[in-house]
A = this chain, B = another copy of it.
Amino acid sequence: MQDSLFIRGVRTTNGDLADLSLAGGRIGAIAAAGSPAPAGARVLDGAGRLALPALVESHAHFDKTLWGQPWRPNSAGPTLRDYIDNERRILRGLDVPIAARAGKLIENCIARGSLHFRCHIDVDPEFGLTHVEAMLALREVYRDIITMDFVVFPQTGLLIRPGTAEIMEAALKLGVENVGGLDPAGIDNDPIRHLETIFGLAERYGRGVDIHLHDKGELGLWTVERIADFTKARGLKDRVVISHAYCLGQAQDQRLHKIAARLAENGISIMTTAPADCPAPPVAELRAAGVNVCMGSDGIRDAWSPLGTGDMLERALFLAMRFDWAKDAELAAAFDCVTQAGARALGLADYGLSVGHHANLILLPAENIGMAIAERSRDRLVIARGKVVAENGVFGSRL
């Protein structure tokens, strides 16, 4: 049995010791510890480590990272517009190609246990499709290890930057899976026409939608409702994500319940970074209402902020800290946001540690999910499609 791996003695998230048989890139069997290894399989000692499904990064901006570059002090002015303009200046002056920066960052994320990614890619009339083309090429480099879907993202505005919609359409023709949006009201100043444009593209090309929504208060909540209207009218149930949606953290109870019901009804996922500095979507309340809440790193070491590591276990910790979660069920919910909920938002098939599913998993020293989040050991063995792809925090394997 070529390509088959038998992992003896791992701890499952329910506390049992088990042996895992991986074959053909999938999980062939999960048996009580002490079962015989299949003939011909390579055997790996699980050493009682906790087996976790691969982590899901639901919101990254790999195309604009400065990962691996010398430290660059953040120099942006105070407004969102200043940050956008500042980034344009920095990326324009950079002679290191996207593949060199983003590739190293993707390898770092893999070493931390993420094997599924959604990546927003900037387009604008100045540099056109160059970021899209670079990321499409880079995806091929890692195609045997990770899944990555793309969102074509009008970072400098859509309607306020004539020509952007046409570039977005061209990106869809190249194979980008999702149409992005950006503050239809607060940045683009014409919310309904903005939504008509992106939902129109999604409908015409059979793609998903993922909208950056930073607008706060009533303006943000009104926009969420309009996104629900469009999702329903255009038949895009289960294919729309609203990223950030800080405004949901400002809604009063009754209003929140009404909006949450509409999000759940239309299968609209909410992506949060669990920000500590501003209102955050109330994750427990949204989950209780049936809303799928996933998590992302957003920018990692870029012109917006030099912080970020891409570690989705750390992201789960930030979520727990944001809402003072300490109970096992709460920590399990935080973990769900960086695993199963991400898989749902990204529409991944056969995700998770079940027989027949893809053999994408992490082994790390921890008793359970809570300890995995509390300690975030860097000593992670990462297995993608049945093969070891990273060990002890380093991409690549000697096994």
Give me the interface of A with B, judged by CB distance under 8 Å.
70-71, 73-75, 274-278, 301, 304-309, 317-318, 320-324, 326-328, 331, 367-368, 370-371, 373-375, 378
Contacts and interface: CB of A to CB of B under 8 A. Distances in A.
A321 B227 CA distance: 29
A62 to B, nearest CB: 17
A327 B73 contact: yes
Contacts of A368: 71
Contacts of A309: 374-375
A308 B370 CA distance: 12
Contacts of A307: 317, 320-321, 326, 373-374
A326 B304 contact: yes
Contacts of A331: 306
Contact of A370 (B71, B278, B367): B71
Which among A274, A321, A367 has the greatest number of chain B C-beta atoms within 10 A? A321
Copies of this protein in the assembly total 2
Contacts of A318: 276, 321
Q: Is the interface of A mostly helix, strand, loop or mixed?
A: loop
Q: 4 closest pairs, A vs B, by CB?
A: A276-B276, A277-B324, A305-B326, A73-B328
A281 to B, nearest CB: 14
Which among A275, A326, A328, A375 has the greatest number of chain B C-beta atoms within 10 A? A326
Given A73-B328, A306-B326, A307-B317, 19 more contacts: A71-B368, A74-B326, A75-B327, A274-B276, A275-B321, A276-B276, A276-B321, A276-B322, A277-B321, A277-B324, A278-B324, A304-B326, A305-B326, A306-B331, A306-B370, A306-B371, A306-B374, A307-B321, A318-B321
B276 A328 contact: no
Contacts of A275: 321, 324
A244 B96 CA distance: 45
A71 B371 contact: yes
A327 B317 CA distance: 24
A226 B276 CA distance: 30
Which among A274, A307, A327, A378 has the greatest number of chain B C-beta atoms within 10 A? A307
Given A328-B73, A328-B74, A277 B322 contact: yes
28 contacts: A71-B367, A71-B368, A71-B371, A73-B328, A74-B327, A274-B276, A275-B321, A275-B324, A276-B276, A276-B321, A276-B322, A277-B322, A277-B324, A278-B324, A301-B374, A306-B331, A306-B370, A306-B371, A306-B374, A307-B317, A307-B321, A307-B326, A307-B373, A307-B374, A308-B374, A309-B374, A318-B321, A378-B378
